[in-house]
Structure 1
């Protein structure tokens, strides 16, 4: 999964971070041509990423370099623009080298995204738990909706089906910084377990008398139900906050005849 990122760098009084955003025609040699030019100019590429999700015929190459203060990069920009594969070049300078966002607004699967500390998300959950009746159900319902929408967005990018959905779910969780997944699920019976290590909720929540990852359980339920078109239940059986080494979620099929929209409306017993 590709997403817009920010660059963080320790300050060096003698250097500046300069970023380049290069739009290019997507050919077999486009990235190599651009990278070769940077190498020829002796620019240290500290970080870079590619994105061609929105239009397969076009690509976006974002490159962060660290250069000596005051270095004129206009000639490099001109040479980039003269490459036959390059469509457009933008650049910016982070003189303080603390943080530089390349794109605003940030985008995830083609929709606006934000960078949020896990602790802030958990603070919201704690406030819900303290002041709202049936807070766990609300968190579960929110997760179900999020998991369902995630599948719909993934379908615009890749063919997601019963054969690859759990591998994609695993990649999605890690790429989003949510946790590391292991799963043992029979796709035919829809029974099994999903184990999460370093879950962003339980890791930030610290200690609790009861499991706290209802949102994650809901996400799994919405994700699996949307892919398989069969309603499933997911509940957290053990949690890092209650003294376990990881969080475990039990997956099981919903009663026969239950529709996915019933899961979304929290109408199951």
Structure 2
């Protein structure tokens, strides 16, 4: 799947964004055959990217907008049945997280930039090594970022107890930050978030302490804005310390605690 150009575009109740990764034989007219077929199937191509795998084979990754009543599995089988196609992978971007490739880039409502994970982690390391209470500053930065994201989501689409977690998970995957497993009770405001392949922990290297304070803050900001309650999030397990995944504990912040002063909160 092409991810480096996945951004948040918006929400259409009547359609879905579906991606296909099509391996095809590079014969004259192969791509035209594929695109013509998709056009006949009313699959509107939002974005496409071509990779040359070998001299004889290519890989065509596309994001399409399809009506919700389209049988995605059946369409994938039909594409794979084309004479020039060898394999097809596919998936659904449920909340439409792609954006046209313009300059400047737009990421969840504001200008965005693409940066190497190492660049961001170098900034985090510099803060940790040079600034007192760096963890608190990183958490506060995350709080604001997560809050902005939740506000933007609420402004463009319905957000509720059934989708607030999956919406956040899709955002993280789309921008390359990590793969989330979220378990949060909307009645008690307690739960946990497991982050697989955290870009911070993966690039940071070995550490005696958890290093994903920014992510803890981002989760807290997002959940605080959604729930309308001050939420604390604390990283209790980090891949940088040798664990297999990063784990963040969610809890309701103590009464009368200002979000900007709660930092990472306490474990209940």
TM-score in terms of structure 2 length: 0.63
* Aligned mates of 1:264, 1:162 — CA distance in 2: 24
Indicate how the Cα distance of structure 1 residues 191 and 65 shifts in structure 2: closer, same or farther if over 3 A, else same: closer
2:157 is the alignment partner of 1:168: no
Aligned length: 189
Indicate how the Cα distance of structure 1 residues 64 and 43 shifts in structure 2: closer, same or farther if over 3 A, else same: farther
* Aligned mates of 2:226, 2:101 — CA distance in 1: 33
Task: Decide which of 249, 255, 259 is 1:263's aligned counterpart.
Answer: 259
Deviation at 1:215, TM superposition (A): 0.1
Unaligned runs of 5+ in 1: 7-26, 29-40, 49-58, 67-100
Aligned to 2:107: 108
- Summarize the alignment of residues 114-125 of structure 1 with structure 2, pairs less than 5 Å apart: 114-125=113-124
Paired residue secondary structure (2:152): helix
Deviation at 1:110, TM superposition (A): 3.0
* Aligned mates of 1:200, 1:163 — CA distance in 2: 27
Paired residue secondary structure (2:136): helix
Which deviates the most, 239-248 or 185-194?
A: 185-194
Aligned to 2:31: 44
2:125 is the alignment partner of 1:126: yes
Provide Cα deviations, 1:13-60, integer angstroms capped at 9, x if missing partner.
xxxxxxxxxxxxxx99xxxxxxxxxxxx94737xx9xxxxxxxxxx99
Aligned to 1:193: 192
The structure that has the greater radius of gyration is 1
2:142 is the alignment partner of 1:143: yes
Aligned to 1:245: 244
Instruction: Tell whether the 8 Å contact from 2:105 to 2:111 is kept in structure 1 after alignment.
Output: yes
Aligned to 1:19: none
Instruction: Tell whether the 8 Å contact from 1:4 to 1:106 is kept in structure 2 after alignment.
Output: no
Aligned to 1:222: 221
Deviation at 1:102, TM superposition (A): 4.3
Deviation at 1:180, TM superposition (A): 0.6
Deviation at 1:227, TM superposition (A): 0.1
Deviation at 1:184, TM superposition (A): 2.1
2:29 is the alignment partner of 1:5: no
* Aligned mates of 1:42, 1:264 — CA distance in 2: 58
Paired residue secondary structure (2:123): helix
- Summarize the alignment of residues 12-51 of structure 1 with structure 2, pairs less than 5 Å apart: 42=29, 44=31
Provide Cα deviations, 1:171-213, integer angstroms capped at 9, x if missing partner.
1111111101112222211111110000010011021010000
Deviation at 1:155, TM superposition (A): 1.6
Aligned to 1:158: 157
TM-score in terms of structure 1 length: 0.63
Deviation at 1:163, TM superposition (A): 2.9
Deviation at 1:5, TM superposition (A): 2.4
